[in-house]
Structure 1
Amino acid sequence: MKLITSNLIQKLVTLSDDAIHICWITAFAMKSGVELMLPTLRKAHARGCEIQLLVGDYLCITQPEALRLLIKELPNSEIRMFQSNGRSFHPKAYLFRGNQSQHVIVGSSNLSKSALTSGIEWNLHTIDMETFEQSIDAFHKVFYSESTIPVNDESLRLYETKYLEANKVTPLSSMWNEAESTELMYGAGATPSIVMDEPAQYGIIQPRPAQKLALSALEDTLEQGYDKALVVLATGLGKTYLAAFFAQKFKRILFVAHRDEILQQAKSAFQNVHPTRSTGYFNANEKDTESDLIFASVYTISQKFHLDKFSKDAFDLIVIDEFHHAVAKTYNRVIDYFDPQFLLGITATPDRLDNQDVYSLCDGNVAIQIHFLDAIARKWLSPFHYYGIRDEIDYSQIRWFGMHYDEEELLNEQLRDDVIKKVFREWQNHKQTKTIAFCSSVKQAIYLCKNFKSQGIEAEVLTGQNAKHERKSIHERFTNGDLEIIFTVDLFNEGVDIPAVDTLLFIRPTESISVFTQQIGRGLRIAEGKSHCVIIDCIGNYRNADRKLRIFKPDLKPTERLKLTEVETIPMTDCVLHFDLEVINLLEELTKKNRNYRQQIIDAYFELKMELGRRPTYLEMHLNSNVLELNLSREFGSYVGMLAEAEELTSEESLVFNQFMDLLNEIEKTAMSKSYKMVVLKAMLERGKSEWKRAITAEEVVPFFKEFLSEKARRHIDPVDDDLKKVTSLIERMPMTKWSGSSKGLVAFRNKEFAFEIEVPTEMESILFHWVTEICDYRLHRYFERKARKLEN
C-alpha cells in the first residue's frame, strides 16, 4: 500500500501503458484532465485495451467538452454517466488490470488537470488481488446500474442543456451547500436491498406440480432439438429448484445471476438436489473454476480476463437467472462466449419482455409460461383481495427526472400528516395478521415505523442495512406473531421467502410491471391457516399508474383501455379487486390526459435514440422501446412514415420517402398468414442495393428459402418440404402469385419471374435499400415471434 500525494498522472500513465483493462470512476471530469490523459488513453485504445469510464453529473460540474472529447477520441470504449438526481456522487477510483498484476488507486483526485498534477490530493495505491477483485466488481455494479446512461451524441446534447442552465442560474458554491444539506436531512438514497433467509433443511427433494409441468415442457424442448429455452414461472413456484432438477441431465453447470444473495440461495437449492456434486462461487471473493456446479456473479465472470479462464465448452448447462436482465452487455458477453449443450433462462416476470430482445436470446423458444393468476387458479399460490385506495399525494407537483421522481420532493409529500393518517387508517381497515409494507426510501420506512409504533403497533424496519442477527430476530418475531408489520425497501428482490405474510401494503409509486408483480409474489405463498392475501395499494396520479393494473387482466389487448369497476372478481380464481370510486375516476381522467398513441410512439423513439446515440432501426424500436404494442403500419403507414412525422428525415431522405411511400407502405402492410412473402423479399435483398428489385425466379429463391426456414426457431413454425420441385411450386403459388395480385401494380409475377415494378434513381438506391431491409427484418422477426407465442399457449 502506497500513499500518493502529488503528480498522480505519472502513475496513471505508467499503469495505462501496461493495462489490458482500464476502469475509472470519478465524480466529475474536466476538459483539462481529459486532454491531459488523452494521449495515454489513445495508445491503450489503439492496442485494444478495454476502457470503461464512469463520470457523474452531480451538481453539473462535469464539462460537456470533456465528454465530447472522450466519445470522439475513444470510439470503442464505454463511457457512461451516473445520473445523481440530487444524490451525492463522490467516488474517485482508478483500476487497472495488467497481464501480470492489478492496481487500485482510490482517493481524492477527480479527472481534472489540477487534481492529477499540482493539487493537494491524497490517493492510496494497492496491488492486492482481493481488493482489486472487490473493487472491479463494485465498479461494474455501479457502471451498469439503472442510474447510469451511455454517453453519446444524444445524451450529451441533453446534458449540455442541463449543464448550461445550471451554471447560468446558480453559482457552484450555493449548489454544493444546498445539495450537501439535503443529503444530511434525507440520506444518500437507498440502493435495492435483499434480505436473505436462513436456508431451510430438506429431506428428499421432489418436484412440485408446477415444476413437473415445466420439466415436461423442457423435455419436449430437448426432443424438438432446441439448445436454448426460457421458462417463466410466477414468484413462489420454485424456478431455482426447477433449474436444479433440470440440471440432473447435465454434468457441469454454470448458474449466473446479478446478486450474490441470489447465488447463495441457488447454491443451497442445488446442493439439496445434488448433494454429492462439488460446488463453488465465481465472484469478487472466490474464483472457483473446477467444481461441478459454479455459481457466478455476472459482473465478475463477464470480464474478458475471467472468461478466458474457461474453455468455450466448459459447461454442459448454463442457467441465467432473472433472464429479463439478459439483454444487458454483461450477460451478452457470457452468452456469446460459452457454447453449452443447453442454455436455460429463468424468470418470474410476466413482462418478457419489457420489450427487450430476450426472445432472440433463447431462439424464440419459451418452453412454458405460468402467470401468477394461472398458478392461483391451479391452487399452487394463494388468492388475494386487492384494495386500490386513493393516494393523497399530487404527483404532478413533483419533479420527474426521466427515470423517477425527485427523491427529496417525494419524501416531503410522503411524510405529510394527512398522507400518513390515511395510510394507517386504510391499513387498519383491511389488514390481516402479518404485513410487509413497501416504501420508496429508508427514510420513509423509518418515519412510518416510528409513527405506527407510537400508535401501539409492533413494527420494525428491515433492509439490507440490518445486521444478520437483527434480520434473524425480526424474521422470528414476525413469524411467531410478535411483530405485526415490517417496513422495507425493495424487499421484493430474490432471497425472501416468508409464506405466512398475509397482507401487503404498497406506499410507493410503482410503474414497472415486473416490480409490481414481484412485490405481489411476496404474499402469494401458501401457508397453514392462510386463506388469502390482502393487498393495499396507494394509487395516485403518478406516471403510467394504470399500466401495472393490467396484470390483473392478462387477456386485455395492449391497445385496449383498462376499465375498472368498484368490485370485480378475476375469472377462475377466488381473487377480488376493490377500487375506491376516487381511484376509478382518477384513472379515467389520467387516460384522457395521456399522450395519444402516436405521440407515445414518437416519444419512445426519441428516448431510444438518446440511449443508443443514433437513430434506432425498426427492429430495435420493437425490441427496446417501452411501447407495449408497436403498430406503426396502422398509425403512420410505415416506420419511415413515423420518422417523417417526427421530423427525423434529412432533405435527401424526404425526397426518397415521398417518391416511394406507396412501396414502403405495401411492404409494411401486405398480409402475412405465412412468412413466405418476406422470405422471398429477404432473398432478393441478399443481391444488394442495385439488384434487389430486379426479376427473380422461384428456382433462384429456393436455396435461400430452404436454408432460412430450416433454422431451429423457424422450422417448426413454417416447415419446408425436402422436395425442391414442391418448394419451387410453393413459392410460385403462394408468395409470388398472391403478392402480385394484391399489390396494386407495385409487384408483378409474369412468365415465372417475380419483380418490383419500380425505377430507382442511382442516388436514391442506398436509402431505399436500407429502409426496405429494415421493414423486412422487422416483419420476419415479428411474424415468428407471434407464431411462437401462439404455440406456447
Structure 2
Amino acid sequence: MPLSPLVIEDNLLTTGGNHPLLPQLIHAINHASEIEIAVSFIQPSGLDLLLPSLHEAIERHRATNQALKLKILTSDYLSITHPVALRSLADLDGENVEVRIFESKNHSFHMKSYIFVSGATEHTMFHGSAFIGSNNISKSALTQAHEWCLRLDYQAPENCYQAQQFHHIRAEFAAIFSHPNTVPLSDEWINDYIERRQPPSLTMLQHDGFVENDPYTPNTAQAEALLALANSRKEGYQRGLVVLGTGMGKTWLSAFDAKQMAAKKVLFVAHREEILSQALNTFAKLWPEKSSGYYHGKTKDKHKDMLFASVQTLGRSQHLKQFSADHFDYIVIDEFHHASAKTYRNILHYFTPKFLLGLTATPERSDQANILTLCHDNLVFERNLVHGIDEQILVPFHYYGIWDEFVNYEEIPWRNGRFDPSSLDAQFATQQRAKHIFKHWQQHQQTRTLAFCVSKKHADFMAQAFNQAFTQAGYRAVAIHSDSQILRNEALSMLDKGHINIIFSVDLFNEGTDLPAIDTILMLRPTESQIIFLQQLGRGLRLHQGKTHLVVIDFIGNHQAFLNKQELLAKQPGKQLTGLANQGQARPDLGAGCFVNLDVKVVDFWSQLAKKLRKSAQQEYQDLQAHLGHPPNATEFYRAGYDLNKVKKQHASWFGLVAAQCQDQHKQQVIQKHHDFLLAAVQTTAMTKSFKMLLLEAFIELDGLNNAPDIATLAAKSWHILASYPTLKQTELPTNVQHLTATDDAWVKYWLKNPIEHSIKSKKGSSQPPWFTLDTGHFKANFTIANNEVDTLQDLVKELVDYRIAKYIDTKQISPNQTEGVGPIEITEQTTTLLPYYPDLKIACGHFKAGRYEDVEMYSVPMANLDPNRHFLAHATGNSMNGGKSPILDGDLLLLELVSSTSAGAITGQTMAIEMQDSSGDDLYVLRDIEKDPQGQYQLRAKNPDYAVISANESMKPFARLKSVIKD
C-alpha cells in the first residue's frame, strides 16, 4: 500500500543522528489538517525548528477558510519546560489552536507523541500518522541525539488493526488533553510559573538539551548601537534612527534597547505578519517575563505588555483610538520605506512614547531621508553591510556582474519607475537566455542557490529549463511561490539537505526570512530599487557552519535602471570603473574578503550611459524615483544631493515638478489651486529660526485645516515638537524660556509673539493678504479650502515642512566658512573628522596632470559634519589658482566633495576638480573655476591670469567640488 502523504520515508523507526525525527515532523505538519502533540518538555531551540512550519500551516488553512486544528500539551514537570517556549506557544494565532499545560504536582509526566491527520471528515479519515517515542521538543532531541521514535500509519478499512490502534492513540491523547491536571496556557499561568520555577541545573540534563540558559548577548555592532541609543536619550531625544545592514540584527537590537530602557509597554510596528511573528519570538526570548501578542487583521491582543502590530491595521484611526497616546513608552517602527507615509504618520503623530526607534537597512542618506525626518533628524547609529563583513557578523561576497546579452531592455516599456511586468515575462522566458544563465551559474555556483525571478511564470520556466539541463548534470531545481505545490519550508529543508540545488523564487524570500545556508544568489530580474537589491543580497550573507563566502551572480542589461548597481558596488582597483569620476557620491569600500568582477560589456555600457544622462530636474526626479522604488518626496530629493533651486527655476516650485510627474489628477488639482500658498508660505518663506516650520508641523498634526486650534493647544503641541529636537530647543530658545512647560502661560505668550504673530502679518510691500489669521483666539488658514482638498493639502504642507526643517538643521550645523564659499580654515580646538587622504592624487593647479588614487590614508581635519564617503583630501600642485581673493597655493591641502552626474547640481561659478584620461589610459586631474561662454560652452578658468582658459569637452568630467582649503 502506498505511504500517506504525511510520511516521507519507508522506515517506521527514527533513531536520531543520521536518521532524525525533525524532517518527518515538518513534512507531516505541511500536509496535516489536524495536529495533536503531547511532550513532557519544550525548549526554545526545538520549538524554533517547528514554529515556521506551524505558522505557515495556520496561515495556509486560514487562506482556504479551513482552520487548522492544532492541540499541544506540555508540562511543568521538573520545571524543565522553558518560559520562552511557553510565550511563543501562547502567541500561536489560530481559530482552532489550543495549548494546555499538565500541572504535574505529585505526578510524573513523560509523554512524547506527535499525531497528524489529513483529509478527515465527520465519518472518514484519508490519512494519519502517529509518532510515539522518546523525543521531547528540543534541538538535540529532534536532530542529533540518540532518540527512538516509532511511527504508526493509519490504514483503511476502519476495522483493520492499524486503524484501530491509530484511533486508540487519538482517544488516549484526548483523555490526557482533558485530564483534570491540565489547564489552558495563559499569560497569567506563565507569569506564575516564572515566579515559582526552579530550573534544574543537572549536568546530565544539560547534555540532553533539556536545560537552555545561554544568555542572549549583543554582537559588536549592536553593543555600539545600544550605547549610542542610551546617550541619545540622555541628550533629550525622543526619537532616533538606526541603520543596520541586512543580517546584522535590527530586531534583536530593538529588543535589547527596549530592555535597556526598562520599558513597561512596547509596540513593534511592521508591514508584514511574518516579520511580526519573528519579532515577537525575538522579544519573547529576551524578555519572557512580559506577555506578548499581535494587533493585526485577525487578532487584537491590545492588553499585552509587548504588542506586535501591522501598520495597515493600527494605522487606522478607529484602531489608534483603542489606546491612549502615552500607552506605549517604547515604540519600534521597522522598515519605514515599505509603507505609505500617510499610514505611518498616523501612528507617529498619535503616540507619545518616551522613545521611538526607527529601523532600516537602507544604505544611503537619500534612502533614509523620509525616515530621518520622521525621527527628528536624529541619526543615532549607522553600520552598513561592509561593517558587518569586516566585523565578521556577515560573510564576504564575491559578485559577478554578467552582461544580459539576450534581453533588449530598451524595447521593454518603462512606466512609473519600473519595467512592464508582462513584457519582462515575454523576454525572460526564452531557452536562449536560460542557457546563458545556466552556463554562468554552473561556472560560479557553490552548493545552495536562491534565484530571484520576475514572476511566477518566470520562476516555473526557469525551474523547468534548469531541470532539463540537470538531467545529465545530476542537479535539481524547484520553483517556489504562492501557487507552487512545494511549500517554502519544505523547499528550504530540501535545499539544506542537498536534495535540490536551486530554488527559483519571486518575492517570498526578499526579507524577513533567515536563510543562513544559502551560499549562492542568482539575480535574474531587474531590481529598480536599491533597497530590494540589498535585501536580496542580504539573504545569503548570514553566517553558517562551513560557509566561507557568498557568490552573487547578477545579470545586468542595457538600461539606465541598472546604473544604480554601480552606486552600490564598492571602489575597484585599477581602471575597472574608469577612475574617480564614476565612483559616485556614497560608495563604500569593499568588506574584507569581498571582490567584484564585472563583464567588460557592463563597464562599457555604464561609461556610455553616464555621458548621456540629462541634467534637467525632471530627469533627476525620475532617476531618483527609479533608485528609491517610489516617487521621492522633497526631503529625499534634497538629501540625494539635488538642487531644489534648479527645480524652482524649471518648474516654479517643488510641487510644480511633482504635478508634472504624478498621475493623480486630484493631487494635481490641489497643487494647482494652492500653488502660491505652498510656495510662498512654506517652501520659500524666510526663516531666521525654525519656529515657523515647527508651528506649521503642530498645526498639521492638530488637523488644523479642518479644525482651527486655539492658541493654547497650538502652543502646547509646538512645545512637544520642539522638545523632540533637543539641539534646536537649546540653541533657539532664550535661556529664560527653556525651563517653561507646554502649558505655562509664559510659554503660550512667547509662542504667540513668535512665530504666531509673524505668521499672521502680511509681507512688507506685498498686496497678498496673510496666509493665516487669528479668529476668536483660533489660528486658521486665511484662504478657501474645499473639504475634499484638506487631507491632500495637509500632506503637501507636511512634506515641505519636513524638507525645510531638514535643510535648516543641516545649514545650522555647517561652520560659517563653509557657507561663505571657499576660503582657508584655521585649525582650532574642536570636533575632528577622519577623512580619506590621497597622497598621490595631486590636483593640478595648472595643466592636467597625472595622479593616482589607489593609495589612501585617513587624515584628521578639525571639522564636524563631514561624510567620509563623500568628502576627501588631496594636495594642490602648481600655481594657476594662485590669484583672486582666495588664492590656492602649490602644496595646499584641499577639502573636496565627490559629485556624480546626478548629484553635481549647478557647477557654473564653482571651483571644481576635473578628470580626464590621456591616450594611454592614465587619469589626469586639474582644478579650475567653471564658467559658460555666450554660446553655452563650459570654460575652465584659472584664477591666475597667466594661465590660458581651457575649453571643456566630453572627455572631461567634474568629479569633485572644492569645499575649502585647510591651513595648518
Inter-partner Cα distance in structure 1 for 2:298 and 2:403: 47
Per-residue CA deviations over 1:487-511 (Å, capped at 9, x if unaligned) read 1112443331121211111000111
**Deviation of the 1:593 alpha carbon:** 3.1
- Amino acid corresponding to residue 431 of structure 2 in structure 1: D
Aligned residue among 387, 390, 407 for 1:377: 390
- Amino acid corresponding to residue 237 of structure 2 in structure 1: Y
The 3 A distance-change label for structure 1 pair 205 and 199 is farther
Aligned length: 524
What secondary structure does 1:510 align onto? coil
Tell me if structure 1 keeps the 8 A contact 2:334–2:359: yes
Inter-partner Cα distance in structure 1 for 2:234 and 2:642: 34
Find the counterpart in structure 2 of residue 208 from structure 1.
219
Tell me if structure 1 keeps the 8 A contact 2:334–2:358: yes
Alignment of 1:123-134 (within 5 A): none
Find the counterpart in structure 2 of residue 583 from structure 1.
602
Find the counterpart in structure 2 of residue 527 from structure 1.
544
Tell me if structure 2 keeps the 8 A contact 1:390–1:538: yes
Whether 1:762 and 2:767 are equivalent positions in the alignment is yes
- Amino acid corresponding to residue 629 of structure 1 in structure 2: G
Aligned residue among 781, 784, 788 for 2:806: 781
**Deviation of the 1:259 alpha carbon:** 1.0
Tell me if structure 2 keeps the 8 A contact 1:717–1:784: no
Tell me if structure 1 keeps the 8 A contact 2:634–2:800: no
Tell me if structure 1 keeps the 8 A contact 2:459–2:505: yes
**Deviation of the 1:549 alpha carbon:** 2.9
Find the counterpart in structure 2 of residue 446 from structure 1.
460
What secondary structure does 2:487 align onto? helix
- Amino acid corresponding to residue 472 of structure 1 in structure 2: N
Per-residue CA deviations over 1:595-633 (Å, capped at 9, x if unaligned) read 3243424768999xxx99xxxxxxx95226599322133
**Deviation of the 1:384 alpha carbon:** 0.9
The 3 A distance-change label for structure 1 pair 388 and 280 is same
Aligned residue among 220, 226, 239 for 2:237: 226
Inter-partner Cα distance in structure 2 for 1:489 and 1:622: 32
Aligned residue among 426, 430, 438 for 2:444: 430
Inter-partner Cα distance in structure 2 for 1:322 and 1:226: 20
What secondary structure does 1:363 align onto? coil
**Deviation of the 1:761 alpha carbon:** 4.7
Find the counterpart in structure 2 of residue 282 from structure 1.
295
Superposition TM-score, scaled by structure 1 size = 0.57
Greater per-residue strand proportion = 2
Find the counterpart in structure 1 of residue 420 from structure 2.
406
Inter-partner Cα distance in structure 2 for 1:412 and 1:462: 20
Aligned residue among 479, 503, 520 for 2:520: 503
Find the counterpart in structure 2 of residue 180 from structure 1.
none
The 3 A distance-change label for structure 1 pair 510 and 759 is same
Inter-partner Cα distance in structure 2 for 1:283 and 1:240: 19
Whether 1:314 and 2:327 are equivalent positions in the alignment is yes
Tell me if structure 2 keeps the 8 A contact 1:639–1:775: no
- Amino acid corresponding to residue 538 of structure 2 in structure 1: G
Per-residue CA deviations over 1:725-744 (Å, capped at 9, x if unaligned) read 9xxxxxxxxxxxxxxxxxxx
What secondary structure does 2:535 align onto? helix
Per-residue CA deviations over 1:303-360 (Å, capped at 9, x if unaligned) read 3222222222222211111123455322222222222222112122224553752222
Tell me if structure 1 keeps the 8 A contact 2:449–2:520: yes
Per-residue CA deviations over 1:154-184 (Å, capped at 9, x if unaligned) read xxxxxxxxxxxxxxxxxxxxxxxxxxxxxxx
Alignment of 1:166-315 (within 5 A): 203-248=214-259, 249-315=262-328
Alignment of 1:460-479 (within 5 A): 460-466=478-484, 470-479=487-496
The 3 A distance-change label for structure 1 pair 774 and 488 is closer
Find the counterpart in structure 1 of residue 641 from structure 2.
629
Find the counterpart in structure 1 of residue 593 from structure 2.
574
Find the counterpart in structure 2 of residue 338 from structure 1.
351
Per-residue CA deviations over 1:262-313 (Å, capped at 9, x if unaligned) read 1111111111111222121112221211111111122222232222222222
Inter-partner Cα distance in structure 2 for 1:776 and 1:303: 23
Find the counterpart in structure 2 of residue 149 from structure 1.
none
- Amino acid corresponding to residue 265 of structure 2 in structure 1: R
Tell me if structure 1 keeps the 8 A contact 2:635–2:803: no
Whether 1:416 and 2:441 are equivalent positions in the alignment is no
Tell me if structure 2 keeps the 8 A contact 1:351–1:513: no
The 3 A distance-change label for structure 1 pair 503 and 562 is farther
- Amino acid corresponding to residue 762 of structure 1 in structure 2: S
Per-residue CA deviations over 1:394-440 (Å, capped at 9, x if unaligned) read 11111223243222221111112221111111111211121111110
Identity of aligned residues (%): 34
Find the counterpart in structure 1 of residue 725 from structure 2.
713
Superposition TM-score, scaled by structure 2 size = 0.47
The 3 A distance-change label for structure 1 pair 210 and 783 is same
- Amino acid corresponding to residue 765 of structure 2 in structure 1: V
Tell me if structure 1 keeps the 8 A contact 2:402–2:554: yes
The 3 A distance-change label for structure 1 pair 265 and 643 is closer
Computing the radius of gyration from Cα coordinates, the structure with the larger value is: 2
**Deviation of the 1:677 alpha carbon:** 4.4
The 3 A distance-change label for structure 1 pair 525 and 562 is farther
Find the counterpart in structure 1 of residue 891 from structure 2.
none
The 3 A distance-change label for structure 1 pair 245 and 199 is farther
Inter-partner Cα distance in structure 2 for 1:297 and 1:256: 6
Greater per-residue helix proportion = 1
Tell me if structure 2 keeps the 8 A contact 1:221–1:367: yes
Tell me if structure 2 keeps the 8 A contact 1:709–1:719: no
Inter-partner Cα distance in structure 2 for 1:513 and 1:683: 32
Tell me if structure 2 keeps the 8 A contact 1:283–1:300: yes
Find the counterpart in structure 2 of residue 350 from structure 1.
363
Unaligned runs of 5+ in 2: 1-93, 96-136, 141-211, 573-578, 661-667, 698-714, 738-762, 773-781, 784-795, 815-863, 868-968
Tell me if structure 1 keeps the 8 A contact 2:689–2:732: no
The 3 A distance-change label for structure 1 pair 425 and 647 is closer
Alignment of 1:11-50 (within 5 A): none
What secondary structure does 2:414 align onto? coil
Q: Higher relative CO (CA 8 A, sep ≥ 6), structure 1 or 2?
A: 1
Q: Which moved more, 1:596-605 or 1:259-268?
A: 596-605
Per-residue CA deviations over 1:463-504 (Å, capped at 9, x if unaligned) read 34457x833332222112332111111244333112121111
Q: Which moved more, 1:324-333 or 1:299-308?
A: 324-333
What secondary structure does 2:331 align onto? strand
Inter-partner Cα distance in structure 2 for 1:622 and 1:601: 12
The 3 A distance-change label for structure 1 pair 416 and 682 is closer
The 3 A distance-change label for structure 1 pair 252 and 724 is closer
Inter-partner Cα distance in structure 1 for 2:309 and 2:417: 29
Tell me if structure 1 keeps the 8 A contact 2:453–2:505: yes
Per-residue CA deviations over 1:198-241 (Å, capped at 9, x if unaligned) read 99897432222221111111111111111111111111111111
Find the counterpart in structure 1 of residue 949 from structure 2.
none
The 3 A distance-change label for structure 1 pair 334 and 264 is same
